[in-house]
């Protein structure tokens, strides 16, 4: 999509209808923003608060729609307490009657003004309730919608309020950019960056940053909050006026049944824009790191990779339990005389297939750790196996499950899974998958 736009013309014709650039004065919205922080400030925060603070600091975020569901409820509570306590603010919190209504609200609000950011938080069955509209929004071009998904088991019988990523992984095909975070700082930083990617003119796709319920949503850590002005400067470098009409500043028709003569072309375009995330995300991440001195968004994080690139055993996982692996990796490697390295996946959708393949190309075996129910070998396993399939002699992929329902993944469990990988290196053929808990194979 061309980024050449004429924001000074009274009416601009676009392929999606006409646009009245002067109808909404975004400078007035920015001027109305009351900053939360005027200088870099360190606070104590849990994951929900970290995500909420980031949204509250954006001048483009005016309305926070929400509905309570464990473990994401505090996002709405904190947003409401802050907005209500901020004298003179134009921001508002919108409490809906159900998650489905939140999704509908987000869809129309994002369509009403495509230059504002509309954000909410939900979890588990809340995300399931939203699915009907979420899936429509995936193709909508509304990159200004951001849904914070606090991971919780959604293959939910029996009930479990602890966090495993089965909710977000069950929505891999919804068309949203899904990125996993671990740690409060990463949550905060990621929420600040995602609108820059989603609203990029080449992408125009809604985003779904997520983090593990309870493990990250409810545990406190120190959090560095950047001054609002610095955040605005960073985001304004990336977010340009949307080149397409919104409902308020446009003469247009949109929605999931609206006529298109080029349905196939539309879907191809959706996929192309989705793939553009792979180009834009590293650029935004690099700029974030240059600006704020902390790592920006990336496809994945790496731990313990030898300079030669080849590891004996490469571990692929996601989420905060990867930290336990990082703690024991070196000692385990030394004990067994192996080069053990790890890859913590962040970008779930679109899956960074090429980059994963390049990183794992020289590993002798790949151990994939899944933490969500799946009908076969695991969501991550299938993605990793797909990434490796074009190699002439791909490394064997060992599939494991652990931590389901948010259970802790103990050191003993990690060691048992690594032992399974080690046995594959010794020539044993692993079963299609194994389930681990408290150091034992179940």
For residue 221, state whether it binds another protein (rule: CB under 8 A): no
- Minimal distance in Å, beta carbon 109 to another protein? 4
> What's the CA gap between 370 and 166, in Å, rounded?
10
Q: Per-residue x/- mask for another protein, residues 236 to 255, rule CB under 8 A?
A: ---------xxxx-xxxxxx
For residue 257, state whether it binds another protein (rule: CB under 8 A): yes
For strands 41-45 and 207-212, give the pairing: unpaired
Q: How would DSSP label each residue in 305-335? A: --TTS--SEEEEE-STTHHHHHHHHHHHHHH
For residue 15, state whether it binds another protein (rule: CB under 8 A): no
The piece of 62-70, 290-298, 316-324, 328-336 that touches another protein (CB under 8 A) is 62-70
Calculate helix-pair angle for 184-198, 263-292, nearest 10 degrees. 130
| SS3 state of residue 151 | strand
- Minimal distance in Å, beta carbon 196 to another protein? 21
For residue 83, state whether it binds another protein (rule: CB under 8 A): no
The piece of 93-101, 342-350, 360-368, 375-383 that touches another protein (CB under 8 A) is 93-101
Q: Cβ(323)–Cβ(330) under 8 Å? A: no
Residue (64 or 211) nearer to another protein, CB? 64
Which of residues 108, 155, 161, 382 is near another protein by CB under 8 A?
108
Residue (102 or 366) nearer to another protein, CB? 102
Q: How would DSSP label each residue in 113-129? A: -TTSEEEEEE-HHHHHH
> What's the CA gap between 247 and 259, in Å, rounded?
16
For residue 80, state whether it binds another protein (rule: CB under 8 A): no
Calculate helix-pair angle for 411-425, 322-336, nearest 10 degrees. 50
Which of residues 56, 113, 145, 194 is near another protein by CB under 8 A?
113
Q: Cβ(228)–Cβ(60) under 8 Å? A: no
From the number of C-beta atoms within 10 Å of its C-beta (0-12, 13-18, 19+), residue 234 rates as buried
> What's the CA gap between 59 and 195, in Å, rounded?
12
For residue 268, state whether it binds another protein (rule: CB under 8 A): no
For residue 92, state whether it binds another protein (rule: CB under 8 A): yes
For residue 328, state whether it binds another protein (rule: CB under 8 A): no
Q: Residue 314 phi/psi, 5° resolution?
A: -105, 125
Which of residues 6, 7, 44, 90 is near another protein by CB under 8 A?
90
For residue 385, state whether it binds another protein (rule: CB under 8 A): no
For residue 5, state whether it binds another protein (rule: CB under 8 A): no
Question: Two tokens at 357?
Answer: 């393949």
The piece of 39-47, 256-264, 410-418, 421-429 that touches another protein (CB under 8 A) is 256-264
Residues 145-164 that bind another protein (CB under 8 A): none
Residue keyed to tokens 């179940």: 442
Residues 124-143 that bind another protein (CB under 8 A): 132-133, 136
Reference 213, options 409, 378, 47, 380; nearest CA is 47
Which of residues 39, 41, 220, 260 is near another protein by CB under 8 A?
260
- Minimal distance in Å, beta carbon 63 to another protein? 6
For residue 438, state whether it binds another protein (rule: CB under 8 A): no
Which of residues 258, 293, 426, 427 is near another protein by CB under 8 A?
258
Reference 322, options 377, 371, 379; nearest CA is 371
- Minimal distance in Å, beta carbon 304 to another protein? 47
The H or E element that residue 227 is part of is none
| Binding residues vs another protein (CB under 8 A) | 10-11, 13, 17-18, 20, 22-29, 31-32, 62-63, 65, 90-92, 94, 96-98, 100-101, 104-109, 111-113, 116, 132-133, 136, 245-248, 250-261, 263
């Amino acid at each position: 999509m061309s980024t050449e736009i004429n924001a000074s013309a009274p009416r601009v014709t676009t392929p999606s209808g006409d646009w009245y650039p002067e109808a909404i004065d975004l400078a007035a919205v920015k001027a109305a923003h009351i900053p939360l922080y005027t200088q870099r400030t360190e606070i104590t925060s849990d994951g929900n608060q970290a995500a909420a603070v980031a949204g509250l600091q954006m001048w483009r975020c005016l309305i926070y729609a929400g509905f309570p569901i464990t473990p994401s409820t505090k996002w709405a509570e904190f947003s409401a307490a802050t907005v209500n306590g901020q004298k003179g603010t134009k921001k508002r919190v919108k409490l809906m009657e159900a998650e489905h209504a939140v999704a509908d609200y987000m869809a129309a609000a994002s369509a009403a003004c495509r230059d504002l950011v509309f954000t909410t938080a939900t979890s588990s069955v809340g995300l399931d309730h939203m699915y009907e509209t979420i899936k429509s929004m995936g193709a909508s071009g509304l990159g200004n919608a951001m849904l914070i998904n606090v991971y919780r088991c959604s293959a939910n019988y029996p009930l479990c309020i602890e966090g495993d990523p089965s909710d977000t992984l069950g929505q891999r095909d919804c068309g949203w950019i899904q990125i996993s975070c671990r740690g409060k700082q990463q949550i905060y930083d990621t929420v600040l960056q995602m609108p820059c990617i989603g609203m990029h003119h080449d992408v125009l796709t809604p985003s779904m940053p997520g983090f593990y319920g309870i493990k990250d949503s409810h545990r406190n850590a120190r959090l560095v909050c950047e001054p609002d002005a610095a955040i605005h400067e960073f985001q304004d470098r990336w977010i340009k006026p949307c080149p397409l009409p919104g409902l308020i500043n446009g003469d247009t028709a949109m929605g999931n049944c609206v006529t298109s003569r080029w349905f196939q072309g539309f879907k191809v375009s959706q996929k192309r824009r989705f793939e553009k995330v792979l180009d834009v995300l590293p650029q935004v991440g690099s700029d974030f790191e240059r600006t704020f001195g902390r790592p920006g968004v990336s496809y994945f994080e790496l731990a313990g990779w030898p300079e030669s690139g080849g590891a004996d055993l490469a571990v692929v996982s996601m989420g905060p339990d990867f930290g336990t692996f990082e703690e024991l990796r070196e000692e385990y490697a030394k004990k067994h005389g192996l080069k053990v390295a790890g890859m913590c996946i962040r970008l779930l959708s679109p899956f960074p297939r090429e980059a994963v393949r390049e990183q794992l190309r020289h590993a002798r075996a790949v151990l994939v750790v899944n933490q969500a129910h799946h009908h076969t070998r695991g969501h991550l396993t299938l993605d990793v196996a797909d990434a490796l399939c074009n190699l002439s002699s791909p490394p064997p992929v060992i599939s494991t499950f652990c931590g389901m329902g948010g259970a802790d993944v103990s050191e003993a469990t990690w060691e048992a899974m690594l032992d399974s990988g080690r046995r594959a290196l010794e020539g044993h053929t692993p079963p299609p998958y194994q389930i681990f808990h408290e150091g034992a194979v179940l």
